[in-house]
Structure formats: structure tokens, C-alpha cells
Structure 1
Amino acid sequence: MSGFHKVGVFVDAENIKINGGYQLRYDVLRRFAARDGGALLRLNTYLAYDPERAEHDPEYARKARSYQQMVRDYGWKVIEKQVRRYTDEDGNVTTKANADLDMAVDAMLQAENLDTVLLVTGDGDFLQVVSALQNRGCRVELLAFRNVSRELQRRVDAYHNGFLVPDLLPVSYEPRNDWGQAGAVVRGVCIKWFPDKGYGFLRFMKRIDPNIWITDTREPGSPYESVFCHANELAEGIGPDQLLNRENIFEFYLRESDRDEGGFAASNVRQIHTTGRTSWT
């Protein structure tokens, strides 16, 4: 697509933070949103800030402001949502920094000048927003991690699982991880498994690319790569039922294959996301 394809991104940061997207990399998210060569007209993220805590906790205030500045340095507009405290009749205090309304209104108003809207949230409260944006002629895509509304996934034009986007989330135990290279950690899904033979194949996205819809690794231009996996490399509790469910996501190391020159094999395979944590509303 040409640069005249106009894109807007709206990030429900608190929803993402508590549902698997902690330490989301805004530079990578920006790259992902622009993968088709579109012009990024709106980059909005809605971040919580607790002014009451900041008064008594200088370290929190410093870190929060530093984080906001880092996000701004990547070209994002930060919309600060102040944390509010609510006390119930039993004296229990809860905090909330809900950005749903602001994000929905902004997306609706700003969509007039957009061709594609990428919503980064798993909240089913955005169902009507998605339909309204589509009725205005926008293509609406969704990116999220855990606890994603099933109905929201069905309603959008495309759903992207954030765990699978290269480098979108850091690998905490491999701080210098070189995604897609031998020795690195990647995340992917199982595409084939042969229980009687004790092996199968995983697939991961090697690079952010306009052709992420070409999931067949045999096709020219596919940004995906298949990886041989032996049953001996699976963590305890991973069996055919988990492997054959395409929605389950696995994290694993890449090593050079002994069977296929230039290919990869998986080692230390563990499951990081299951369908059982995904909501249906």
C-alpha cells in the first residue's frame, strides 16, 4: 500500500498491561502498524497516572514521567488517565483508571481521516465502536494478548495475537534476544503434530512484514518459518491436545537443525498462553 493509506492506533494501555502485555514496546508496535507502508496519522495511548501516590512516592512519580517521555519519544500522543479511588460500604478501597470512553470517542472522531484503525485492547466494551468504525468505511484490526473478548475478535477485520509479533514483548530471561536467529527465543504455534511419531512442527513469525497473511511457510514471500520439534523438547504437561489447538502459544529456543541444512529445531518448548484464559464476551 502507498503512503496515502492512513492508519490510526489506539492503545488501551492499562487493559493490555494487566492482560499479558506488560513491557509492550511502543517502537515495535509502531513498526507493526505501519507494516503495509501506511501513513501513521494517529498514535494514541491512554496511560494511567496516580497523582495521589505521586505526592508521597517520588520514585513512582519519576518512573511514571520517565516512561511517558520514552513513549512520546517514539512519536506517541500520551493521554493521561488519572487513577481514582472508590470506597465501598465495607470500607474496601479500589482504584480505577478507565480509558474506555475517551479512547472510544477519540477513535470515532479521528476515524474520519483514517483508512485503518488498530485497536490495542481485549475489552469487549469496544464492540459497538468496532461496528461504528466499520460502518464509516474503516478497516478495523485488533491486537491483544490474554483475556481477549471472543466476540471482539469475530467482529474486527483482523485479529493479531501480540505474543506472536517479533520483539513486541521482551523475553525477560534473554535481555539480548535476537529474534529469529539460532540461539534466540521466539513464540509461535504448532501447525502439525504426529503423536504416533513423537514429533511435529511449530511456526513463528520471523519478521514484521506486509505479507503476514501468507501463513504457509512454503509460499514465497511468507514471513513465517517452520521449526522441527521433538517430543523430548516439550515441557511437562504439553501433549497432543495442547499442540493441536492452534490458539495455544508456545515459547521456545531456536537451534540449528541436524536434519535440515539452514533450518531450525525447537528446544525447551513451554506453553505461555492457553485458550482457557480467553473470555467469550
Structure 2
Amino acid sequence: MRHSESLHPQPAEAALAAAVPKRGLKRHIIRDKYLYLMLVPVAVYFLLFKYAPLYGEIIAFKNYRLTDGIWGSSWAGLDHFRQLFSSKEFYVVMRNTLLLNLYNLVFAFPVPIVLAILLNEVRWNGYKRVLQNLLYIPHFISWVVLGTIVIAMLSPSTGIVNTILELFGIEPIYFMASPFWWPISFVGSGIWKEAGFGTILYMAAMAGIDPTLYEAAKIDGANKLRQIWHVTLPGIRSTAAIILILQVGRIMDVGFEQVFTMKNPAVTQVAEVISTFVYTRGIENLQYSYTTALGLFQSIVALILIVSVNKLIKIMGERGLW
């Protein structure tokens, strides 16, 4: 009898056991109430700008008209998706989006890591702070301003880059009008703007590396490059893995502001990406349903990519996003 009672607690005991976690949760909320209050604006932001707009995805399956509204418009089923996948423009836009993001992944992704390692080796704190501030500044300049500066610097007649090239006897290059040079200018300007700010996470990860590991490496005869390879890089590997997952998740999305500021009709065949295509076809030409279908397809592919890369990173022994 006693054995059965131990297996099956009395209702009063079960109620007491259930009440303990509730009291513990309430105690934690009261204790950390200011931290939870700080989360309120973040939660409101995601509810208003991330979750509430999901209601509008219905437009992708309707022949949306402004006068009829979302529910008043007639259903179109998968017609807009069929139109999308049978359009040549769609594949050009997809190619440009994937290529520009692939260039960023190959050439821009390692730059903050290299910069962070170099900054970590600077021992004079005053000089280090000045360098960090100079590297961070471009991040806080809007693409409208920074893009204009890039275009002015690369001008074939008055740009400083072509002026320097002329000193070496090289003919002026039309960077902004060349389908070959425009993607290079795009990636280079992106590195200039974001690489410095991207070092923050890596510098924070390096600060958490145990200094005794460097001392042990020195005792074993490791030079500076060996210390970086065997101590620094493994110490920031998990941070790099998480940033890589996020980067791959955005591989279907190229920032609208940068492309819109720098592109021109001469390079449309390499510069038209999903974000600018949605703007010109959806906003300017009022093809809301068609571009919503494209946006929904873009989101689904991005979700598949980020889940797949997260799983791959975890298989390789690193921590994923979840």
C-alpha cells in the first residue's frame, strides 16, 4: 500500500509540486522585472513589423486590387507562382541575388575575422581605440550618403581611384557602368561599410579566450602565427559559425539601399536583385500579388537554407542558433 502511494502522490502533494514552479516563475519575474520591461519594446517591434505583416501574404494567392482590399479581391490560387517561375526576369533576378551574396560570403565574410585578429594583436590601447573608431564610422553612414561617395570616388573623370590609375598609365575605368566592375565595386563598398563594425563580436569572443592558452603555446615554441591558428581561431570558431548561419539565411536577400543607390540602367543585367525588382514591379507598377509571391518564395527558401546550415553546423560539433 505504501509502495503504491509512493508511486501515485496524493492530489494535495501534486498540487503543491505544481505550485512550486509557478511561485518560482513569479519570483523570477518580480526580481528581474526591469529586464523584462526592457524586452517589451523588442517584443512590440517583432509583433508589429515581423508577425503582423504575415497576414498580407494572402495577397500572393489573390488578384489583389487596392479598391477591393485583401478579402474583397478574387482568389487566384497558384497563378502568380506559375507566372513567376515561367518568367525569364525571375531567373535573371535570382542569379544576380545569389551571385552577389555568394561574392559577399566568399570575400566579405572573412574580412571582419582578419581585422579582429589584427586589432587583437595591437598592444597600444590608444592607437587601438583610434583604429576601432575609424573602422566603425562607415557603419553609421547611410547608403544614400556612402553610395554617393563611392560613385564620386570611382568616377572616370574626377574620381580619386581613376586619378591614381592614370599616374601609373592606366586608362580610366568605368566602374559603375561596367557589368564586370560593378559587382566588384558593390562587394568592395560593402566591406568598407560593414567590416569594421563586424569585428565587435569577434573581439568580444577573443576577450573570452583564456590567456594561459597563449602562455602554454609560447612555452611549446609556437610563434605568433601558430598562436593565432591553434588558439585564437578555435576560440572564435563558434561565433563565426553562428554568423555564418545568419549570413546564409540572408543569401536570398541583398540590401535594397545599397543596390538602389549604386545601380544604373547600364548594369541592370547584373545589378537587378529581388529587393529592387519587388520595388519596381510591386510599388511602381502596382503588381502587388506577383511580387508578394516572389517575396513568399524568397522567405521559404531562406528558411530552408538557415535550418539546413544550422543542422550542418551542429553536426560539425559547433553550437547552432537553436
**TM-score between the two structures when normalised by the length of structure 2:** 0.21
Q: Higher helix proportion, which one? A: 2
Higher relative CO (Cα under 8 Å, sequence separation at least 6) belongs to 2
**TM-score between the two structures when normalised by the length of structure 1:** 0.24
